[in-house]
Amino acid sequence: MEATPTVDEVSRAADDIVTAFSNTDTEAYFAHFAEDATFIFHPEARRFDSRKEYEDTWASWIDDGWSVVECRSSSPLIQTFPGGAVFSHTVDTTVSTTSGMESYRERESIVFRRRDDGRLLAIHEHLSTVPEEPDATEEVTS
1 within domain boundaries: no
Rounded CA separation 105/89 (Å): 11
Q: How many CA atoms lie within 13 A of 49 on its CB side?
A: 1
Tally of structural domains, the chain: 1
Domain that holds residue 45: 7-129
Rounded CA separation 74/101 (Å): 21
134 within domain boundaries: no
Q: What's the CATH number where 115 sits?
A: 3.10.450.50
pLDDT digits (tens, 9 = 90+) for 16-37: 999 999 999 999 999 999 999 9
98 within domain boundaries: yes
DSSP class of 64? T
pLDDT digits (tens, 9 = 90+) for 37-62: 999 999 999 999 999 999 999 999 99
Quick one: how many helices (H) and strands (E) in the chain? 3, 5
Q: Is the pTM of this model over 0.95?
A: no
85 within domain boundaries: yes
